[in-house]
Chain A
Amino acid sequence: MKTKIFTGMLASAALALSASTASAATLDDVKAKGFVQCGVSTGLAGFSAPDDAGEWSGIDVEYCRGIAAAVFGDPTKVKFTALTAKERFTALQSGEIDVLSRNTTWTMSRDTQLGLNFAGVNYYDGQGFMVRKALGLNSALELSGASVCVQTGTTTELNLTDYFKANNMEYKPVVFEKLEEVNAAYAANRCDVYTTDASGLYSIRLTLEDPDAHTVLPEIISKEPLGPVVRQGDDQWFNIAKWTHNAMVNAEELGLTSENVDLEKDSDNPNIKRLLGAEGDFGESIGLSADWAYNIIKTVGNYGEVFDRTVGAGSPLKIERGTNALWSDGGLQYAPPVR
């Protein structure tokens, strides 16, 4: 209830604010100051976390670099603001940041009531289950009678109840207030199953005594589409935010990678020609240069490359592509064509 009132307050404040910020051209501001100000999370493995040199890395961070590459042709022209969950919308609404790329779930209320627009889904997350491999389970439907560690008072707990009820299965909840307590309980074998968002399960698995002894089951029981957010009322910037992600997905579909994009520049494939700016004026139409998509692919990479090195097989997290595979591979990542 408290959070509802708070969100309501934020929403009304945002509406009052959006009237004044709506007309501001973010792209002009960004070009004038010379960098994109991007809001990221205060640390989430694979999404935005510091590397040894202290540089931000992760899939949310790469998206911001993509926008910088599209606008400036240089992925380093981006500055990051670390935001807590409570600060994130305020920071965007008040103009402190230009784009919010902070594992934010796209929901109707956020999309419609906060004066914000979601620019796409760069990671389809959802609640999953982690179990010990020794149990020999292959599916969440075999979990009947299991004890499940879960954080109390979250939607995770409600989803869990619904899922087990819908499938006529019994379970014994082992609930805790804090995430750390849930981790400790699962590590101490006080429950058979750990449930939270799948991306969280993979990063928690890394902190267990023997990560290889645990596996994340394939079932995903809730929808948590995570994506970048921009202010409502600036369609040009909204387009850039949307098409930065779309360009990366399209590039993967067309087989363009940061390595081969230079060779493919002379390709005869009209789809590639349009994406890389050899044909048409798609870049100009969103206020960017013709080679906007080339710059993203060359300097940041396509969606698959980014996924692989931040959260996928090329990273310690080793998350399966699953729902984040291209639509042509049975996943949900789908971008409208450039034409």
Chain B
Amino acid sequence: MAQDRNHSLAYVRTEMVQEQPAPINAKGPVAWLRQNLFATIPDTLFTIFALLLLVYIIPPMFRFLIADAIWTGDNREACIVPGAGACWAFVDAKFAQFMYGRYPFEERWRVDLTGILLVAGVIPLAMPSVPYKKWNAIFVLIIFPILAFILLTGKLGLEPVQTSLWGGLLVTLVVAIVGIVVSFPFGIFLALGRRSNMPIIKMLSIIFIEFWRGVPLITVLFMSSVMLPFFLPDGVSFDKLLRALVGVTLFASAYMAEVIRGGLQAIPKGQYEAGDAMALTFWQSTRLIILPQALTLVIPGIVNTFIGLFKDTTLVLIIGIFDLLGIVQLNFTDANWASSKTPATGLIFAAIIYFIFCFGMSRYSMYMERRLDTGHKS
């Protein structure tokens, strides 16, 4: 019997077969290509189409932006040579202006210092592993704005610098950051106000939100700069930048309020009732139970509003404030640099800067979402 079995199992190998690589059509680059790019006939067509498009676009882009680009030069003569690509010499000559506007040269260290303080405050605040969050937040939200105000406008013995001299990225960041930082708490209060049971607060919140959402930002800015001076008594004039800041902030608050209200509505009634059962006051339950949940739910919406606001800051251009895009466009009118390539180069430069900031905000929000697991994926 045993022999019999041995005999019938004679084909069983006594040693392992050498491990073989997976078939070429199941693993490796070829398989990847087949699965992802050439799986079906439509896929193949799309792939070929996309490749052709890239071949069509990338080499000319590379030539324009890098190979044929003019990197150095003192004026337009450098960039009007036949066959020249992007006129980076223009950006090089105007770079300081794009960053600071017409901020006085010898006072620019103040802008730099403000920027360094901002980065030094925000980076540790943004990293969850760094301790002392409370002190950090106090620095960023209370001490830093005061310092920035003193440094940028020139108080306490510093040389005063009019806001009409500010420009470039400085103005873009001032408008965007003030808008973001102020509109966020405003938005929270407006959202809570709109859901309140107190009729007057509710009505005022609704009127505010619907009014500011109902008018275009461009109208708000335009009214503030053209019509407002007529309504003010003689000699009373608000700073132009301040007017723009107030307009942008109120506008952003209304949008922020609606985003946050979306989050509040997603919180089940049981959460409120749980707060009441614990004998928490309205503010306690809002602060400890409702808002932490509501805000994390609407991170994408909040960041969306922030990014939109960041890009909307370019509208201050129409009231004669030169933000980054404004000062880039303003410099197109400098006859010393006028050429057929100057506008394209300047706009590409502005686009890169805007992209860096917006993409940065977007990535950070994704990181926070993953960390807080708001997608409930795990």
Residues of A at under 8 Å CB distance from B? 13, 17, 20-21, 42-46, 49-55, 79-84, 86-87, 90-91, 94-96, 187, 203, 206-211, 315-317
Which size bracket describes the interface of B in this complex?
35 or more
Question: What's the nearest-Cβ distance from chain B to residue A238, in Å?
Answer: 19
**Contact among A54, A83, A84, A206 for B101, CB-based, below 8 A:** A54
- Determine the chain B residues whose CB is within 8 A of the CB of A53 once the complex forms: 97, 105
User: B25 in the interface, Cβ–Cβ < 8 Å?
Assistant: no
Question: What's the nearest-Cβ distance from chain A to residue B21, in Å?
Answer: 57
The stretch among B38-46, B121-129, B186-194, B339-347 that forms the contact with chain A is B339-347
- Determine the chain A residues whose CB is within 8 A of the CB of B164 once the complex forms: 79-82
- Determine the chain B residues whose CB is within 8 A of the CB of A203 once the complex forms: 333, 335, 338
Q: Assess whether B225 is in contact with A87, with CB atoms less than 8 Å apart.
A: yes
> Known: A50-B102, A87-B225. Contact between A207 and B342, CB under 8 A?
yes
Q: Name the CB-closest residue of A to B235.
A: A95
> Known: A86-B226, A187-B340. Contact between A21 and B335, CB under 8 A?
no
- Determine the chain B residues whose CB is within 8 A of the CB of A80 once the complex forms: 164
Q: Assess whether A206 is in contact with B76, with CB atoms less than 8 Å apart.
A: yes
From residue 211 to 268 of chain B, which have CB atoms closer than 8 A to chain A? 222, 225-226, 229-230, 232, 234-235, 237
**Contact among A43, A50, A94, A207 for B339, CB-based, below 8 A:** A207
**Contact among B97, B105, B235, B340 for A207, CB-based, below 8 A:** B340
Apart from A45-B335, A94-B234, what are 19 other A-B pairs with CB-CB below 8 Å? Answer: A43-B331, A43-B333, A49-B333, A49-B334, A50-B97, A50-B102, A50-B330, A52-B97, A54-B102, A80-B164, A87-B320, A91-B229, A95-B237, A203-B333, A203-B338, A207-B338, A207-B342, A316-B75, A316-B335
Residues of B at under 8 Å CB distance from A? 75-76, 80, 82, 93-94, 96-97, 100-102, 105, 162, 164, 167, 222, 225-226, 229-230, 232, 234-235, 237, 318-320, 322, 327, 329-336, 338-340, 342-343
Cα distance A174–B222 in the bound complex, in angstroms: 32
Cα distance A79–B101 in the bound complex, in angstroms: 15
Question: What's the nearest-Cβ distance from chain A to residue B115, in Å?
Answer: 18
- Determine the chain A residues whose CB is within 8 A of the CB of B338 once the complex forms: 45, 203, 206-207, 316
Q: Assess whether B234 is in contact with A21, with CB atoms less than 8 Å apart.
A: yes
- Determine the chain B residues whose CB is within 8 A of the CB of A94 once the complex forms: 229-230, 232, 234, 237
Cα distance A80–B320 in the bound complex, in angstroms: 11
> Which of B105, B222, B230 gathers most chain A CB within 10 Å?
B230
- Determine the chain A residues whose CB is within 8 A of the CB of B331 once the complex forms: 43, 49-50
> Known: A84-B318, A211-B80. Contact between A52 and B336, CB under 8 A?
yes
**Contact among A17, A55, A317 for B230, CB-based, below 8 A:** A17
Question: What's the nearest-Cβ distance from chain B to residue A66, in Å?
Answer: 20
- Determine the chain B residues whose CB is within 8 A of the CB of A51 once the complex forms: 334, 336
Cα distance A91–B227 in the bound complex, in angstroms: 10
